[in-house]
Each structure stands twice: as C-alpha cells, then as structure tokens.
Amino acid sequence: MAKIVQTTARAVVSYGVNPLARFLLRIGVSPNAVTVAGTVGVLIGSYFGSQGHLFWGTVIVTAFALTDVLDGTMARMRGGSGKFGALLDSSMDRIADGAVFGAVVYYLATEGNPYGGVVAALISLVFGQVVSYVKARAESLGLNADVGIAERLERLLIVGAGGLLGAAGQEWGLPAALWVLAALAVITAFQRLIHAARTEPKVPAK
C-alpha cells in the first residue's frame, strides 16, 4: 500500500512538472544544471531555516527539493541521464540532505532541544544516508533493495510539514515530524536489508 501511495504521488508530481521539463530542455537547460541548481536552492533554504525563518526555509527547501523529480523527468525525455548524471544526482542529494538536517539540528539546539528534536534529527540524518547506501550497494552487488515506506521525497515532505507547523507557532510540530521520520527511516533501512537478503541467489549445496 505504501508503495502504491508513493508511486501515485510521484506520478502526480511528474505530471505537473512535464511542461516545465519540456520548456527547459527546449531552451537548452540540461538535467545536470537543474540538479545543481536544486541543491543550491536547498542550501539557501536550509540557511533560512537554521536562522529560525521556518516558513520561508520550508517553502524554499520544498520547492527546490522537487527539482529531484524535474531533473529526472528531463533526463527521461532526453533519453536517459547517463552514468555521470546519476552519480551527480546522488551526490547532490546527499549534500542537500545533510544541509537540511544540519539546519534543523542547529535550529532546535538554539531553541533548547524541544521534545528531543535534535536526537530525532540526527537519527533521521544517519538512517536516511543508510537507506540510500543500502539500495546503491545492493544494486552494485546484484541484489534488489528497491523497497521501503519512506524514500527521500517522502522524508523531505514530512520535514516540510513539521517546519510549517513550527512556523505556525506549534513548538511540537517539527520535533514530532522528526520522530515520525526517524522511525520510518529506521524501518526503511531494515526493510531494504531484509529484502536484499531474500533476493540473494541461493548457493547450491555440494
């Protein structure tokens, strides 16, 4: 069910960005340029968030995080991103994720760590990286780990929802979102490990 919801949400977002993707390709903008621009935008939004401007930080980060869908759509329209495009995209994702959660940790620490939000943010950051690593490493070994209830886009949207609640004056909003996210990230990491173990070919007994 979770995978169906994720696929549907991504399909809706992709449908919405298709016209923009075609326009950017038509004027000569490459998917890689969009990838880098999206990361720069996330860094800017993260800075706003770290300084306590949760509303604008959330809006900027969410808007630029959606370029993760846009550059992928552009690459598919162009016939594929190539190996370097895939490497660049993954690298920029890791930088953006680190910036977002680093900003959240800094902000919550300056606010007195309400509801243990700093701990939740650190767990989310660490296991978010593990989730991505497990999938990439499994694929390099010929295994399948393409499962999970909270992939990158969903994780950023959950943080965004918490940021908006915080901006609305609900002190519990951001820490609550982070604790939910921490739990989902841990579950997803182990889901992928277990699924990869089950897809490993059985060695015939001698």
- For 142, the token pair is 């010929």
Query: Does 146 carry a binding-site annotation?
Result: no
Query: Does 33 carry a binding-site annotation?
Result: yes
Query: Does 68 carry a binding-site annotation?
Result: yes
* Catalytically annotated residue among 39, 57, 92, 93: 93
Query: Does 18 carry a binding-site annotation?
Result: no
- Terminal alpha carbon distance of the chain: 41
Query: Does 89 carry a binding-site annotation?
Result: yes
Query: Does 183 carry a binding-site annotation?
Result: no
Taking every pair of Cα atoms in the chain, the longest distance, rounded to a whole number of angstroms, is: 66
Question: Exposure pattern of 29-56 as b/e (b: 16+ CB <10 Å)?
Answer: ebbbebbebbbebbbbbbebbbeebbee
Query: Does 97 carry a binding-site annotation?
Result: no
| Contact (Cβ atoms closer than 8 angstroms) between residue 181 and residue 131 | no
- For 39, the token pair is 């990361």
Q: Is 146 a catalytic site residue?
A: no
Distance, CA of 114 to CA of 118 (rounded, Å): 8
- For 30, the token pair is 């490459």
Instruction: Name the binding residues for a CDP-1,2-diacyl-sn-glycerol.
Output: 32-35, 72, 76
Residues annotated catalytic, as ranges:
93
Instruction: Name the binding residues for Mg(2+).
Output: 68, 71, 89, 93
Instruction: Name the binding residues.
Output: 32-35, 68, 71-72, 76, 89, 93
